[in-house]
């Protein structure tokens, strides 16, 4: 199999970063195809522990070319800061191992500001934005009101284009939100500070991908967040502003005709969710606190405590279908080792009926979890490297999930380190 996508099945934070890090060894090119710096992949490797936001996870692997595709919210400011941080820890980042699609739209300074202003206006009705400017960015992209990274190569054209956008944006900033607005001089300074820095990385990455594919190179597509946050198929409106599903990878990568052979869906052995919106399996109180502590469930970007609960079979089955997953990686199984009994949200109860189908977003808040338990294993499994090493209770739990979600679990992760994985 040559091309592969690694995607989240649930609400995000499933541990995709560690899977990409593991799988990049077998690939030549890693492409991020959607989203921006609003989530974080945590990766632990020989350089230390990293929370990557925009950089593709293949950046640590020598010989791998990393691409930020046209579907990404390309934030020059945050990207440059991230490049500098990662470089400072001994990782080489050059235009040879990092390329930015010339068709990626730029997240401009006002997008972040607009995000904050809108969340403040929404007050208690807010959607839980990370205020990285992602929603205003994608709104502008679809309104054709932002610039492409490739325009950095045409300064006169870029200046005229930005002047038009500036006029338009200042109307919203000043008249809708009562904010100060921007001047051309500020934008020019921003371009000098960040635009110029990322310019050497901007390339026709579509052409590069096509040629790489023709030369038999293997491409890995890396997503951010999970199926339930997909703009079209997720829990609307508590979604992100881009398509997180594997089907979008060809479009957002710059290689729309590419065929993806394998979709690795990442599922966590329990559930976690950042931000607002219905989260049917949610636990509260001491039970939740214990699981949150055991799994270290605090946002990689924001440090916010994540909401937690048992694995949600109904939501996970839907995520598997939506992603078209061909194999599942189950992560953080080791976190459940402290439990006497392993909880599972097996079904939902909706309007007095037990259901297996994930409900339409508008009625999802009415759903109640139907929970069951399975016997726990109560011992440290983080040293297990083979399927047979796992206690029978842990194997039963994995096999139960596999049956219920209708997809083979090919990887079981029992720790954050590269080698803490069981291949089945």
Instruction: Point out the residues that are catalytic.
Output: 13, 41
What minimum distance in Å lies between the beta carbon of 18 and ligand GDP? Answer: 4
- What phi, psi does 104 have (nearest 5°)? -75, 135
What minimum distance in Å lies between the beta carbon of 16 and ligand GDP? Answer: 4
What minimum distance in Å lies between the beta carbon of 36 and ligand GDP? Answer: 13
Task: Rank residues 405 and 414 by Cβ distance to ligand GDP and give the closer one.
Answer: 414
Task: Rank residues 347 and 420 by Cβ distance to ligand GDP and give the closer one.
Answer: 420
- Rule CB under 6 A: is residue 222 a binding residue for ligand GDP? no
| Candidate ranges 157-165, 281-289, 389-397, 412-420; the one touching ligand GDP (CB under 6 A) | 412-420
What minimum distance in Å lies between the beta carbon of 408 and ligand GDP? Answer: 18
- Rule CB under 6 A: is residue 17 a binding residue for ligand GDP? yes
Task: Rank residues 134 and 367 by Cβ distance to ligand GDP and give the closer one.
Answer: 134
| Candidate ranges 36-44, 60-68, 183-191, 243-251; the one touching ligand GDP (CB under 6 A) | 36-44
Compute CA distances 209 → 150, 220, 248, 419, whole Å.
17, 11, 16, 30
Contacts of 256 (CB under 8 A, 6+ apart): 250
What minimum distance in Å lies between the beta carbon of 390 and ligand GDP? Answer: 13
- Taking alpha carbons only, the member of 130, 174, 166, 132 closest to residue 147 is 166
What minimum distance in Å lies between the beta carbon of 85 and ligand GDP? Answer: 16
Exposed / middle / buried, residue 216 (Cβ in 10 Å: 0-12, 13-18, 19+): exposed
Site for ligand GDP in 271-300 (CB under 6 A): 300
Task: Rank residues 37 and 416 by Cβ distance to ligand GDP and give the closer one.
Answer: 416
What minimum distance in Å lies between the beta carbon of 15 and ligand GDP? Answer: 4
Place of tokens 């990207």: 79
Compute CA distances 90 → 48, 59, 76, 260, whole Å.
10, 12, 21, 33
For residues 319 to 358, the per-residue mask of contacts with ligand GDP, x marking binding by CB under 6 A and - elsewhere, is ------------xx-xx-----------------------
- Rule CB under 6 A: is residue 5 a binding residue for ligand GDP? no
- One residue of 7, 14, 239, 274 binding ligand GDP per CB under 6 A: 14
Judged by CB under 6 A, the number of residues near ligand GDP is 22
Side-chain-side CA neighbours of 135 within 13 Å: the count stands at: 19
- Rule CB under 6 A: is residue 40 a binding residue for ligand GDP? yes
Whether the CA torsion 53, 57, 63, 69 is positive or negative: it is negative
Contacts of 285 (CB under 8 A, 6+ apart): none
- One residue of 44, 236, 350, 374 binding ligand GDP per CB under 6 A: 44
Task: Rank residues 164 and 417 by Cβ distance to ligand GDP and give the closer one.
Answer: 417
Contacts of 143 (CB under 8 A, 6+ apart): none
Count of Cβ atoms closer than 10 Å to residue 391 Cβ: 16
Three-class secondary structure of residue 234 per DSSP: coil
Exposed / middle / buried, residue 406 (Cβ in 10 Å: 0-12, 13-18, 19+): exposed
Contacts of 418 (CB under 8 A, 6+ apart): 18, 21, 22, 44, 45
- One residue of 3, 24, 129, 413 binding ligand GDP per CB under 6 A: 413
- One residue of 5, 6, 8, 263 binding ligand GDP per CB under 6 A: 8
- Rule CB under 6 A: is residue 55 a binding residue for ligand GDP? no
Place of tokens 């008249």: 175
Task: Rank residues 38 and 212 by Cβ distance to ligand GDP and give the closer one.
Answer: 38
| Candidate ranges 10-18, 73-81, 122-130, 165-173; the one touching ligand GDP (CB under 6 A) | 10-18
- One residue of 9, 16, 195, 233 binding ligand GDP per CB under 6 A: 16
The residues pairing with 342 across neighbouring beta strands, listed in sequence order, are 374
What minimum distance in Å lies between the beta carbon of 315 and ligand GDP? Answer: 16
The residues pairing with 350 across neighbouring beta strands, listed in sequence order, are 353
**DSSP summary character for residue 259:** P
Q: What is the spatial distance between Cα 242 and Cα 224, in angstroms, rounded to a whole number?
A: 10
Q: Give me the residues that bind ligand GDP (CB under 6 A), please.
A: 8, 12-18, 39-42, 44, 300, 331-332, 334-335, 413-416
């Amino acid at each position: 199999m040559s091309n592969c996508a690694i995607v989240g099945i649930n609400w995000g934070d499933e541990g995709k970063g560690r899977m990409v890090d593991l799988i990049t060894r077998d690939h030549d090119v890693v492409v991020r195809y959607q989203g921006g710096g609003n989530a974080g992949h945590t990766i632990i490797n020989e350089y230390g522990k990293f929370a990557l936001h925009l950089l593709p996870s293949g950046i640590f692997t020598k010989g791998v070319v990393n691409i930020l595709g046209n579907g990404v919210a390309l934030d020059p400011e945050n990207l440059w800061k991230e490049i500098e941080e990662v470089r400072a820890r001994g990782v080489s980042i050059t235009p040879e191992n990092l390329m930015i699609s010339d068709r990626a739209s730029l997240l401009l300074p006002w997008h972040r500001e607009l995000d904050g202003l809108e969340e403040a206006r929404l007050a208690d009705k807010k959607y839980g934005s990370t205020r990285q400017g992602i929603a205003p960015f994608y709104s502008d992209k679809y309104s054709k009101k932002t610039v492409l990274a490739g325009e950095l190569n045409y300064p006169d054209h870029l200046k005229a284009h930005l002047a038009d956008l500036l006029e338009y944006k200042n109307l919203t900033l000043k008249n809708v939100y009562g904010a100060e607005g921007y001047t051309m001089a500020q934008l020019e300074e921003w371009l000098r500070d960040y635009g110029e820095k990322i310019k050497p990385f901007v390339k026709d990455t579509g052409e590069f991908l096509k040629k790489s594919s023709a030369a038999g190179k293997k491409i890995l597509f890396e997503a951010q967040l999970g199926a339930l946050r997909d703009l079209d198929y997720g829990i609307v409106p508590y979604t992100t502003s881009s398509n997180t599903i594997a089907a979008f990878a060809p479009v957002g990568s710059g290689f729309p005709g590419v065929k993806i052979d394998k979709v690795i869906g990442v599922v966590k052995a329990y559930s976690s969710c950042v931000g607002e919106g219905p989260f049917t399996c949610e636990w509260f109180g001491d039970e939740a606190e214990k699981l949150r502590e055991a799994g270290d469930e605090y946002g990689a970007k924001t440090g916010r405590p994540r909401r937690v609960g048992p694995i949600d079979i109904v939501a996970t089955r839907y995520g598997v279908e939506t992603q078209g997953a061909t194999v599942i990686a189950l992560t953080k199984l080791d976190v459940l080792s402290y439990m006497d009994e392993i909880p599972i949200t097996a079904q939902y109860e909706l309007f007095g009926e037990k259901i297996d189908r994930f409900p339409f977003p508008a009625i999802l808040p009415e759903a109640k979890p139907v929970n069951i338990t399975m016997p726990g294993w109560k011992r440290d499994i983080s040293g297990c490297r083979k399927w047979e090493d796992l206690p029978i209770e842990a194997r039963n739990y994995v096999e139960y999930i596999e049956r219920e979600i209708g997809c083979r679990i090919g990887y079981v992760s029992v720790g954050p380190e590269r080698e803490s994985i069981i291949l089945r």
